[in-house]
Amino acid sequence: MTPCSMTNVDFFIGRRLRQFRWLNGVSQSDLARRVCTETAQIEAYESGKIRVSAARLLQIAQAMDLPLSAFFEGMPVLPESGHAVPRQAPSTGEARMLLHFSQMSDQQQAAMQNMSQAIAEPVAQTGTALPDTGAFWRQESAT
């Protein structure tokens, strides 16, 4: 399959595969063994170099104990055309944050939510980020 025949859906599914594999602590080689293929094949699916067939996607979903629909979640379809227009899947950094967040206690999660809200609100109100001072909070000027 040539790269020009790949679609946004193929890239979206590849990114979702990488995220689910990473979040479940499954290596590319382990997943490849589970579905009887080569590690390079899994890497190619994840990078969008080749399209995942429906049968292989079902095998992958079963091997990772996921519903098949999980690979399509967050991919809206425009009603007038029927073409899938995927929203951007979380980055690897965002996925790591979600993983760490899910491992926290309820009290820790509440504290993280408050902190992230305090950091994000100035950005949402002004449209500009706080200057990068290396600090984790806004530093008051000593005037």
Residues 3-25: pLDDT tens digits? 456 777 888 899 889 988 988 88
Q: Which amino acid is at 69?
A: S
Contacts of 99 (CB under 8 A, 6+ apart): 22, 23
Predicted confidence at residue 30, as pLDDT, reads 96
Q: Which CATH class is domain 3-88?
A: mainly alpha
Ordered DSSP codes for 23-70: HTT--HHHHHHHTTS-HHHHHHHHHTSSPPPHHHHHHHHHHTT--GGG
Indicate the pTM of the whole model.
Answer: 0.55
Residues of the chain whose pLDDT is less than 70? 1-5, 76-90, 122-143
CA angle (110, 113, 116) in 5-degree steps: 150
Predicted confidence at residue 104, as pLDDT, reads 80
Angstrom distance (rounded) from CA 10 to CA 75: 11
**CA 125 and chain centroid, separation:** 27
Give, to the nearest 10 degrees, the angle between helix 39-47 and helix 8-23: 120
**Residue in 72, 23, 17 with CA at minimum distance from that of residue 47:** 17
Predicted confidence at residue 121, as pLDDT, reads 72
Indicate the domain borders of the chain: 3-88
